[in-house]
Structure 1
Amino acid sequence: MFGLPGHARAVAGGDLAASMLHQHNSHREAAARIAWCINNKAIGVVTGEVGADKTVALRGAVASLDPARFTVIYQPNPEVGMRGLYDRIVTSLGGTPKYQSAALAAQASAALAAEVDERGRTPAVVIDESHLLDHHELDAIRMLTNYDMDSTTPFAVLLIGQPTLRKRMKHGVLAALDQRISISYQMPTMDKDETASYIKHHLTIAGRSDPLFSDDAVDLIHLTSRGLPRSVNNIALQSLIAAFADEKSIVDESSTRLAITETHATE
């Protein structure tokens, strides 16, 4: 019989170091594009469905960067508005934010330029949940990137969000921003083999090398989760609990079906 707590935490992912994250194709492609965008001081957009592991891909990309050469400014909550973003930029770069919004915007822009000119580091402004930004805020981000008569940008900007962000970028009022985007990547979901590899990877981290999920259970997890990593995590975890409660030594299809039924009943 397996020990539930350790294996459950492993399948759920926990707070794994970037080097321990599962490297499925979508993750690798997104991380490579994010790293390219930051290295080239470009504007990029990375989108994916809820639970597609967009932030996990970001962690992988950031972990590959030399901290002596790059400064990542991460804004997890765009609902604080542009003032909140300017405030985070200034404080992240060691400044004290000014009170007036117009002065704060200019201060944030100057701080980003100074990070390059005075410290020799490339800043990367990363805004998660960017689909929550309105048109005015998206255009304000474009204005923030205006530098040297609009010919160059001394820092990178990454907008990470759900697929609706890509659709909104095509609106006429945002054409100027859309034209400046160098990278636009929609993260696909995992295929069946990647789902199986994903589950096996996390179990291996927990020290379990022998099969713990039957093939039928893995197939059902993939079908129900649609290959979305977060959903795979949730269903696999509940399947482990169901198998543990029934004193089974392996997670079979019936345990997974029970887990799916209970999970959907609480949604």
Structure 2
Amino acid sequence: HLKGDKAHFKSHVFKAIQEQIINYAVHKSIIPVIIMDEAHLLIEQNIKELQIITNFQCDTIDPAVFILSGQELLIDKIRRNILNSFYQRIALKYMLTPLTKEETKKYIQHHLRLVKSEQELLTESAYDAVFKMSGGKGRVVGDIVRMSMRICADDKRQKLDEEDIMKAAQEVL
């Protein structure tokens, strides 16, 4: 983690952050990886500030790796003309696309195997309903299946059906 003296002006904070990152990269041979999750929630001013911080005067190395992860809105934000120079600096851009129907089923089965589930817990119509209600978005798939399992357990049943999925989707969406 980065350390430094307390600063009262943004410009001093930005300079201190840059110095710490360069210190790690040059003197300790450590390339910091800075991850910002939910970056779609950043406002334009935050992105401009990030651009200032990442403006290193180093020709020989990239002293840090910044990973911004977020929803599609993030791409829309950083593609704006005012942030074009920041967008052009991004070396790798990757967007996860929603899972297909078959991938959704395999995703659920994989997670069930991770928790040592030995039996098939969903009917085929339940898998179809999960895909339909989630749009193939991994986080939503997980939320729906977890809620469905609670509903099924409350009813003392061991297999999820389409109705369980629909009830769960109403709760989590």
Common topology (TM > 0.5):
yes
Distance in 1 of aligned mates of 2:42 and 2:154: 44
What is the identity percentage for the equivalent residue pairs of Structure 1 and Structure 2?
Answer: 24
Structure 1 segments of 4 or more deviating over 6 A? none
Of 22, 38, 41 in structure 2, the residue corresponding to residue 113 of structure 1 is 22
Of 161, 177, 183 in structure 1, the residue corresponding to residue 86 of structure 2 is 177
5+ residue gaps, structure 1, are 1-91
- Let me know the Cα RMSD of the aligned residues: 2.2
5+ residue gaps, structure 2, are none
Partner residue in 2 for 1:196: 105
- The offset of 1:256, in angstroms, is 2.5
Q: What's the TM-score once normalised by structure 1's chain length?
A: 0.58
Distance in 2 of aligned mates of 1:245 and 1:141: 48
Of 45, 51, 62 in structure 2, the residue corresponding to residue 142 of structure 1 is 51
- The offset of 1:149, in angstroms, is 6.3
Which of structures 1 and 2 has the bigger CA Rg?
2
Q: What's the TM-score once normalised by structure 2's chain length?
A: 0.86
Aligned amino acid, residue 109 of structure 2? K
Q: Which has the higher strand share?
A: 1
Distance in 2 of aligned mates of 1:151 and 1:139: 24
Q: 1:205 to 1:153 in 2, by over 3 A?
A: closer
Partner residue in 2 for 1:230: 139
How do 1:96-107 and structure 2 match up within 5 A?
A: 96-107=5-16
Aligned amino acid, residue 85 of structure 2? A
For CA contacts below 8 A with separation 6 or more, give which structure has more relative contact order. Answer: 1
Aligned amino acid, residue 25 of structure 2? V
Distance in 2 of aligned mates of 1:216 and 1:167: 36
- The offset of 1:135, in angstroms, is 2.6
Distance in 2 of aligned mates of 1:132 and 1:234: 21
Aligned amino acid, residue 209 of structure 1? E
- The offset of 1:190, in angstroms, is 1.3
- The offset of 1:136, in angstroms, is 2.8
Of 142, 152, 155 in structure 2, the residue corresponding to residue 246 of structure 1 is 155
Q: Would you say the 8 A contact 1:242–1:256 is kept in 2?
A: no
